Chains A and B, each alone.
Chain A
Amino acid sequence: MIMLQKRKDVPGYLTIAVPLLSILVTLMMGALIFAILGYPPLQALYEFFIAPLSRPDQIGNLFVKACPLIIISTGLIFCFRANVWNIGAEGQLILGAMGAGWVALSFPEAESRMLIIGMAVMAMLAGALWGAIPGLLKVKFKTNEILVSLMLTYIAIFLVDWTVRSPWRDPMAFGFPLTKAYPDAGLIPLMSLPGIGRLGQLHWGVPVSLLVAIGGWFYLSRSLGGYQIKLMGDAPRAGRFAGFSQSWVTMFVMMLSGALAGLAGMIEVSANIGMLQPQISFGYGFTAIIVAFLARLNPLAAIAAGLVVALAELGGDAAQISMRIPKVVTGIFNGILLFMLLAGETLTHYRIVWIRSAEKGGKSHG
């Protein structure tokens, strides 16, 4: 029998060596797969990992791609640390985008910068409400938040689809399912970095995402609220003994992660699309779950994890375009990368133990 046994002390060199090894194994397996399928392996790997970083504007685009992932995963980290499993960030993102869209479309003549603030607030409210539903059902009726939040995601997907096809459709859009374009005041402008100028599509949502991650880290590690969240996740009984409320924590993390997912939705639309359409997100709400775990549930690490995952996605796009590698193959490659990183993460903290028979407990090989 094979068992995973938690390591008492994680040797320092492992934390560096294992991720490097994971990436190395991924590269080798990827090269193998590309070779089998008849693509030049080295060129494919170049397109995946080097090409997306080869020009300054592409680095800007990398941050743009990582922006929603970082924001959403920060919220999800709060949930997962509290042992609350919000799988529905995708739906909360959509609701946030719709809330922001409603504000933008209601004031088509607006010119004030207040519009974007109002949109952000409404996006966070809408996302928080969508997150509050599974939270409330869990607190009141002990329903499973995984199922409810996931089902609400599908409701959200169809809700936005219907909205842009019927009530909010732009009559001038030649029958396309699109809303009117947002007024300029409702768009997030590109950033101009001092001395560098514009960097691809780098926009003002990116610094917001970094602030969210840093703020989330600070709250989680230094505040009593963050302590409550970790306590409820690690030892709910001790949390009740301390006098904290499990229901309160559950509602708080569900609404917070909903609000952040909603904010990510608003930023995504206002920075990159400029109107509502059936397809708003490219699965950011689901990918952010991977980012959260890749970051070992640490918001600061979510910045790096978000960038790694974004790189894999952008590299996949690049490989599709320049080498005509089918989308499914790039998907497989991304899957291997994430699998290797997470497996390496597990093996950093656990060791494999072989047990000869079921009754021989405690026999361990170093």
Chain B
Amino acid sequence: MTQIVPKTTAKSATAKLEQAPLLAGFGMTKSFGDLVANKDIDFTIYAGELHALLGENGAGKSTFIKMIYGLLEPDQGHLEWQGESVTISNPQQARAMGIGMVFQHFSLFDALTVAENIALALPPDFPRQNLSQLIATKSAEYGIPLNPDNLVADLSVGQQQRVEIVRCLLQNPALLIMDEPTSVLTPQETDQLFEVLKRLAEQGCAVLFISHKLDEIKQLTSRATILRGGVKVAEVKTGDQSKRQLAELMIGAKVKDMQTQSAPKTSKTLLTVTGLSRPADGPFNVALRDINLSVRAGEILGIAGIAGNGQSELMDALTGEWRPSYANAGNMIQLGADDITTLSPAGRRRAGLAFVPEERNGHAAVPSMTLSENTLLTGYDLDNVVRGGMINYDQTLAMARQISKTYDVRQPSDDPLASSLSGGNLQKFVVGREIIKSPDVLIVSQPTWGVDIGAAQFIRTAMAELAKQGSAVIMISQDLEEIFQIAHQITVLNAGQLSGTFKTRDITAERIGLLMGGSLQADDDISESKAGVSS
């Protein structure tokens, strides 16, 4: 077995599929205890190829790339690098062979500059003279300019990703692995990233692109390896497959169509937020500035925006976990004509609101408690649940069972711990727990974040149904596809401010993307025509 293979210069890339693959895996298997995360996976990627690794959460994508990158040792199977058998036993070795990886979660130090961060991550023998110069030219060469002297804390998430990419590029990788790279990007940033990746491929670098977004996979890659439940279910040319076919391969079932509902013509306004401002709690929090919104019965309002622009602060203010403490806070949040600004989360629930915060574990649900105890979390005010201070566990168990049945929550036993449910099933449970109460207003944040496609469609359908029955829904989401799919009205949260509200059918994803990136300055009142002009 060869220990280390000499680095390939990323140039010779003409003959693709005929020659030996750059990297091939045979019968790759990895289990953790009883769970088989990867079973007998064969895989090939060629120099200069844009290859997608497609699968739902938990399909085994991360395990597989960790084996390639030397973070995990396969139980069975072996890898071949340029036709020769190799054992990759740690990431240093992987990098030395020419494998670069950009993780979903960056490992950058906020307090250091771009150049300092990159210097820390490079191997010890990498020449560090003129590193700043090198970063500037390399990043400019690929059209993602970076100032090496900027502090990472001052960079947007998209720019931080560039730092990680440039770090890889400096080592002239032959294979670049990108783990869910677009989940934090605006559409424009995504387009720029794709330009860079295409350019790399033209120069002979192989790109392994991990995603579950079918649009992007069709747009960028030529071949896809599809995993489901730890097993490779297909290897396809992405050009030959429709999005629906890819989705069905990925989830192993038929995908249900969702129809965008038309908004009701006239209905009464249910929830109004007027002039809500909130100072930032600390250096990593975002201040909310003059938030105004309203939502009518039967309507779904989508609040788009990239994570970290005030979504959690806004959600806390809407649930009542944060309440304005200053004197003139009256009538900032109204339900119909009633002022609910000073009410606690429990008070707001009694008034007819329901909430699903973004974080399932430890916020919307308690992992260490059973599902019936989790129904109590937002249900202790309901009839027959608590009498004389004592909990009626028969009632909470009945409620939990009904939620699970109605919202197709698959669970290992009758009343399991919340931690034993998969992310998608727990999300169906927490969303179902609120929808089943038929609230006047449902406020959800990132309702399908980290949830498989099947569960995501289920949750979206349930929210659309709720709106159809006359409730109002506010949905804070990073997922533009989701917003365009079910929202009737769209507004964008950027740097703690909301843009104006647009009808879904009157605005394009591109324009929303510009608002998300803050390129269109949302003045106090941005009109649709004005937005059109400046894009």
A residues with a Cβ closer than 8 A to B are 8, 222-225, 227, 230-231, 234-235, 237-238, 240-244, 357, 359-364, 366
B36 to chain A, nearest CB (A): 14
Which residues of chain B from 364 to 382 have any CB-CB distance to chain A below 8 Å in the complex? 364-369, 373, 376-378, 380
B506 to chain A, nearest CB (A): 35
Say whether B32 contacts A231, CB under 8 Å.
Answer: no
Say whether A241 contacts B33, CB under 8 Å.
Answer: no
CB < 8 Å neighbour of B346 from A234, A242, A364 = A242
Say whether A234 contacts B368, CB under 8 Å.
Answer: yes
CB < 8 Å neighbour of A224 from B71, B319, B345, B389 = B389
B498 to chain A, nearest CB (A): 23
Distance between Cα atoms of A364 and B35 in the complex (Å) = 12
Distance between Cα atoms of A230 and B355 in the complex (Å) = 22
CB < 8 Å neighbour of B32 from A357, A359, A360, A364 = A364
Say whether B344 contacts A237, CB under 8 Å.
Answer: no
Say whether A237 contacts B362, CB under 8 Å.
Answer: yes
CB < 8 Å neighbour of A238 from B71, B320, B362, B389 = B362
Contacts of A235 in B (CB 8 A): 362-363, 366-368
Name A230's closest neighbour in chain B (CB-CB).
Answer: B369
B322 to chain A, nearest CB (A): 9
Say whether A243 contacts B349, CB under 8 Å.
Answer: yes
Distance between Cα atoms of A231 and B369 in the complex (Å) = 9
CB < 8 Å neighbour of A359 from B33, B90, B344 = B90
Contacts of A240 in B (CB 8 A): 321, 345
**B72 sits at the interface (CB 8 A):** yes
* Main SS at interface, chain B: loop
Contacts of A230 in B (CB 8 A): 369
Say whether A238 contacts B32, CB under 8 Å.
Answer: no
Distance between Cα atoms of A146 and B270 in the complex (Å) = 47
B residues with a Cβ closer than 8 A to A are 32-33, 70-73, 90-91, 319-321, 344-347, 349, 355, 357, 359, 362-369, 373, 376-378, 380, 386, 389-391, 393
Say whether B363 contacts A237, CB under 8 Å.
Answer: yes
CB < 8 Å neighbour of A241 from B90, B368, B377, B390 = B377
Name A228's closest neighbour in chain B (CB-CB).
Answer: B380
Distance between Cα atoms of A244 and B373 in the complex (Å) = 15
Q: List 15 A-B contacts (CB under 8 A).
A: A224-B390, A224-B391, A227-B376, A227-B391, A234-B369, A235-B366, A235-B367, A238-B362, A241-B319, A241-B357, A242-B346, A243-B345, A359-B70, A360-B71, A366-B33
Say whether B363 contacts A238, CB under 8 Å.
Answer: yes
Say whether A238 contacts B364, CB under 8 Å.
Answer: yes
Say whether A227 contacts B373, CB under 8 Å.
Answer: yes
Say whether B347 contacts A224, CB under 8 Å.
Answer: no
Distance between Cα atoms of A366 and B32 in the complex (Å) = 9
CB < 8 Å neighbour of B363 from A241, A243, A360 = A241
B341 to chain A, nearest CB (A): 15
Distance between Cα atoms of A234 and B377 in the complex (Å) = 13
Distance between Cα atoms of A363 and B72 in the complex (Å) = 8
A225, A235, A244, most chain B CB atoms within 10 A: A235
Say whether B321 contacts A241, CB under 8 Å.
Answer: yes
Contacts of B393 in A (CB 8 A): 222
Distance between Cα atoms of A366 and B349 in the complex (Å) = 46
B225 to chain A, nearest CB (A): 22
A5 to chain B, nearest CB (A): 9
Contacts of B90 in A (CB 8 A): 357, 359
Across the A-B interface, the 8 shortest Cβ-Cβ residue pairs: A243-B346, A243-B345, A235-B362, A235-B366, A237-B363, A242-B377, A243-B344, A224-B386
CB < 8 Å neighbour of B345 from A234, A241, A359, A366 = A241
B367 to chain A, nearest CB (A): 8
Contacts of A357 in B (CB 8 A): 90
Contacts of A244 in B (CB 8 A): 346
